[in-house]
Homo-oligomer: A and B are copies of this chain.
Amino acid sequence: MELKEFQDYLNSQRLKFTRPRNLIFKEIFSSKKVHPNAYEIHKRLKSKGHKVSLATIYRTLSLLVKSGLVSEIDFGESHSHYEPDVVKAAHGHLVCLSCGEVKEFSHERIRTILNKVGKESHFMMEKFSIQVFGYCRKCQKK
């Protein structure tokens, strides 16, 4: 399970594994199809009776991103969303411009192409991010 990786990361940096960090981690990893933003994590924890401040959520998200366990993604809104970075395969998001629904897709060929593109420019690819904007099946009918 990935929790151990988080603990290892914290240890390696001489940081502490605290109750709020545990809660935030579990909230992100428990439902992998959700791409919550900071405020949503805050709301979900509160509804379960845990009070963790927004500041701590932002601080922990920043740690998780640094550790490489979580990715920050942008859906064209004014805030960031977060997702577990456990999906090893190339994947992107289909974002509906009408209802906001987000669906994941994966395509190994994309990673291969991007890797090749990078090499041509002597660029060392670390990670990439693909968002496709358009209209989902439901919203097309309207």
Contacts and interface: CB of A to CB of B under 8 A. Distances in A.
Given A76-B72, A133-B129, A109 B113 contact: yes
A31 to B, nearest CB: 20
Report the contact-size class of chain A (Cβ under 8 Å from the partner): 35 or more
A117 B106 CA distance: 8
25 contacts: A74-B76, A94-B117, A96-B123, A97-B126, A105-B117, A107-B113, A107-B117, A114-B132, A117-B132, A118-B132, A118-B134, A121-B136, A123-B132, A123-B134, A123-B136, A123-B137, A124-B140, A125-B133, A126-B133, A126-B134, A127-B132, A127-B134, A128-B130, A128-B131, A129-B130
